[in-house]
Amino acid sequence: MFKRGFYPIVGLLILVLLLVVGLYQLLDSSDEKPDAGGGLSLTDFLSAGSENEERFAKAQPDYVLSFPEDHLAHPTFRSEWWYLNGNLQHRDDPAQRFGFQFTIFRQALTKQEGAAVSGWLAPQFYMGHAGLGVFGQNKHLTAERFSRRGPGLAGTQAEPLSVWLEDWQLQAEQNDNLFPATVTAGALGNAVGESFSYRLRLVPEKPRVYQGEEGYSPKREEPGFASHYYSYTRLRVEGELELAGESIPVTGAAWYDHEWSSNILAEYQTGWDWFSLQLEDGRDLVFMELPARPGSGKSNFRQVALFDVQGERLPVDARLIQLDVSDHWRSPSGIRWPSGWRLQMPDHDLDLTITPRQKNQENNLSVRYWEGAVKVTGSHNGQGYVELTGYE
């Protein structure tokens, strides 16, 4: 269902956009004291968010996803994202391991009124996050950028099928299929002066799969709060990383998600723990838990899906899943992140130990979350990515 969620990140995304828009004196001129309440108001987004929610399109249970159109942006929905993660290794030296993340978020500020609004006036904002873990050196490199859709600065297009934010892009080789595709992102001197980039070719090893009910993915117990959500759970990766002026050939396996919706997290939900795991036996597992705030009287909300080698969905009883945190890590920014898990699914004989490739995989960007490559051992071996949000 909603994968690691969307909602806290989107909420934070809005916040960030506003911060950037309204408060750059904070970043820009440290000598100028920002007056409290100054800058563009955040309430514009956050409160208007709940008030105006009705104005945006909502995910419908009977909506049938159709492709390639649904690969593109859905500007009538409030929020959307295109997401890739992957475990990589040096082509000639499998001991050198890397992990990458690529996300382009779209956020509509107001409901788009037909096609009349174009160019700079389109109320569509984009944020991109790119991450690269260099596990041999305990390095976690990240980069971030923003743009409005504008006259082609960011967005999606059908021919060739692509999603982009300036020069970061995911571009298909054919017009009717998203994959095979190439993803390019990086930074020449990010916020902390590091430079990295990657250019990876992604070839599907399994067909597209639908999350929730045929791509209609509920977000909480109450009906009517859902997203449209589909994935490619296993993509073969070949390409290069550019790191410290050096080009590194890599191979590996990636995971792709595309999700859109107009509802935000419920009041009682703080964030999510999201796992995408690729097992060596060919099965892929996605599991997400949205903890309810203690005392809210609500229970944690779970979504799970297990796909076999052919991409066929296997029946899973979410209630039987047992997830225990086995370790924690306190990041330099002061947050105590879970950093090691035991995941048990007795109905599928899975008892998995999930260990981060390195503890330091915090994305300390405008939105702070942990997005990291993990190694899977236990009853089955494998690898994957974990996303943690809502921790403070």
Partner 1 sequence: MIFRASLRHFRHHPWQLLLLLLGISLGVAVVAAIEITTDSARHSFREAQLQIYGRATHRIQAQQRIPESLYVSQRREQSHWQSAPVISSVVKTSGDEHLLMQLIGVDPLREQGFRNQLGRISGSDIGFSDLQTSPAVVMARATAAEVGVGLNEQLTLITANGTQTVTLVGLLEDAGDPRLQQLLLMDIGQAQRMLGMEGYLSHIDLILDADEVAAVKAWLPGGVQLEVTEAALSERAQLASALYFNLQALGLLALVVGLFLVFSSVSFSLSQRRPIFAQLRTLGLTVNELYRYLAMELLLIATVGTLAGLLLGIVLAQLLLSLMLNTLSDLYVTSPLSLLLLNPLSLGKLVLMGIGGCMLAAWKPCQQLAHVPPASLQQRYLQEQTALQQSRQLGRYGVPALVFIALVLMLWQGSGLWGAFAGIAALLLAGAWLMPAALTGLSHLLERQLAGTQLALRKPVLLMLIRDNRRNLSRTGIAAMALMIAISATVGIGGMVSSFRDAVQLWLTERLNADLYVSQSRVLPGVRKALPSEFITDVASLEGIEAVATLRRVQLSVGGRPVNLYASELPQPMRPAYQFVASDRNAIWQRLAEPDSVLISEPLANRMGLRAGDQLVLTTNAGERDFSVVGVYYDYGSDSGRILMPATTFIRHWSESPYGLALYLADSGRLDDIEQAIRERWGGALDLRLQRSSLLLQRSVEVFNRTFVITDVLRLLALVVAFVGILSSLLAIQLERQEEVSLLKAVGLNRLELVSLLLGQSLLLGLGAGLLAIPVGELLAWGLTHVVQLRAFGWSIPYQPDLANWLTALLLSVSAAGLASLYPAWRFAHQRGIRRWE
Residue numbers at the binding site for partner 1 (CB under 8 A) = 17-18, 20-29, 32, 34-35, 37-45, 48, 109-110, 119-121, 123, 125, 145-148, 150-153, 164, 166-168, 187-189
Amino acid, res. 292 = A
Alpha-carbon separation of residue 131 from 142, 144, 228, 371, 373 (angstroms): 4, 9, 25, 8, 11
Phi/psi for 305 (5° steps) reads -150, 135
The partner residues of 328 in beta bridges, in order of sequence, read: 338
The two structure tokens encoding residue 151: 């006259």
User: Closest CB to partner 1 among 105 and 370?
Assistant: 105
Min. distance of Cβ 181 from partner 1 in angstroms? Answer: 17
Cα dihedral 180→277→252→187 (10° resolution): 80
User: Closest CB to partner 1 among 124 and 217?
Assistant: 124
Min. distance of Cβ 198 from partner 1 in angstroms? Answer: 15
Min. distance of Cβ 372 from partner 1 in angstroms? Answer: 26
The two structure tokens encoding residue 97: 């391991």
Relative to beta strand 284-290, strand 272-279 is antiparallel
State the angle between helix axes of 6-22 and 43-51 in degrees (0 to 180), rounded to the nearest 10.
140
User: Closest CB to partner 1 among 46 and 318?
Assistant: 46
CB atoms within 10 A of CB 5: 28
Min. distance of Cβ 28 from partner 1 in angstroms? Answer: 5
User: Closest CB to partner 1 among 44 and 240?
Assistant: 44
Report the alpha-carbon distance of residue 341 to residue 361 in Å, rounded.
16
Min. distance of Cβ 79 from partner 1 in angstroms? Answer: 15
Nearest to 5 by CA among 280, 302, 240: 302
Min. distance of Cβ 38 from partner 1 in angstroms? Answer: 4
The partner residues of 239 in beta bridges, in order of sequence, read: 200, 250
Min. distance of Cβ 350 from partner 1 in angstroms? Answer: 43
The two structure tokens encoding residue 17: 């956009």
Nearest to 3 by CA among 83, 114, 97, 79: 83
User: Closest CB to partner 1 among 23 and 65?
Assistant: 23
User: Closest CB to partner 1 among 167 and 347?
Assistant: 167
If 0-12 CB within 10 Å is exposed, 13-18 middle and 19+ buried, where does residue 189 land?
exposed
Report the alpha-carbon distance of residue 386 to residue 375 in Å, rounded.
10
User: Closest CB to partner 1 among 168 and 260?
Assistant: 168
User: Closest CB to partner 1 among 189 and 297?
Assistant: 189
Min. distance of Cβ 188 from partner 1 in angstroms? Answer: 4
